[in-house]
Amino acid sequence: MTSRAAAKTRSTAETEIEVTLEVDGDGEATVDTGIGFFDHMLTSFAKHGLFDITVSCDGDLNIDDHHTVEDVGIVLGTAFDEALGDRSRITRFADRRVPLDESVAGVVVDLSGRPRFYFDGDFSQSAVGDFTSDMARHFFESFAMQSNITLHTEVSGANAHHEIEALFKATARALDDATRIDQRRSGTPSTKNSL
């Protein structure tokens, strides 16, 4: 099988980002965004999705975390879209629920080529360390739009750390399932023969 990998960079007045992604990896991650909790979430995302990723971001954290989180979502999503190529033989759909203590997150994904994002839930605290909780929602919205996938997410719980971590893990597991090659297929899983 051809390697499903991509490397992307993005440079703006707000952030400088370099990302590499290997979809069929071992879950290895090297991440440095300047936001400790976000680094932890991206590392967890790689581990549970079995993606190999590197993420380096130099952002305007003197302002806040918004630009860094949003732009990493944009670049990682762009890399994900490129790595999947024509999406031939993928499983395409997946549905995962992941708990973390009192919290649970559910994710349904369609690697459809049609970008959509939906979120249902609230985070119990406004921030985890230097990470604004709502930036988790915004990260996945940016990721979904740039990777051209439909992503439905929901979360509930009583601790924002647990809620956000469950969300990253559930998304990783769903994407791992949806990107798997279905040996029974010879082409794209669509009646249009294109995604």
Number of domains in the chain: 1
In this structure, the chain runs to a length of 195
- Using one digit for the tens of pLDDT, what is the confidence trace for 41-91? 999 999 999 999 999 999 999 999 999 999 999 999 999 999 999 898 999
Q: Which 3-state string (H, E, C) describes 41-87?
A: HHHHHHHHHCCEEEEEEEECCCCCCHHHHHHHHHHHHHHHHHHHCCC
Does 184 map to a domain?
no
Measured distance between the N- and C-terminal CA atoms of the chain, rounded to whole angstroms: 19
pTM of the shown model = 0.94
Does 189 map to a domain?
no
Does 188 map to a domain?
no
Q: Which CATH number goes with the domain that contains 164?
A: 3.30.230.40
| Domain limits for position 23 | 5-179
Is 169:98 a contact under the CB 8 Å cutoff?
yes
Does 134 map to a domain?
yes
Beta bridge partners of 25: none
The C-alpha atoms of residue 153 and residue 13 are separated, in whole angstroms, by: 31
Per-residue pLDDT band at 96 (split at 50, 70, 90)? very high
Could you give the dihedral angle defined by the CA atoms of residues 152, 158, 164 and 167, in that order, rounded to the nearest 10 degrees? -40
103-122: average pLDDT: 97
Does 107 map to a domain?
yes
Residue 46: predicted pLDDT:
98
Does 111 map to a domain?
yes
- Using one digit for the tens of pLDDT, what is the confidence trace for 148-177? 999 999 999 999 999 999 999 999 999 999
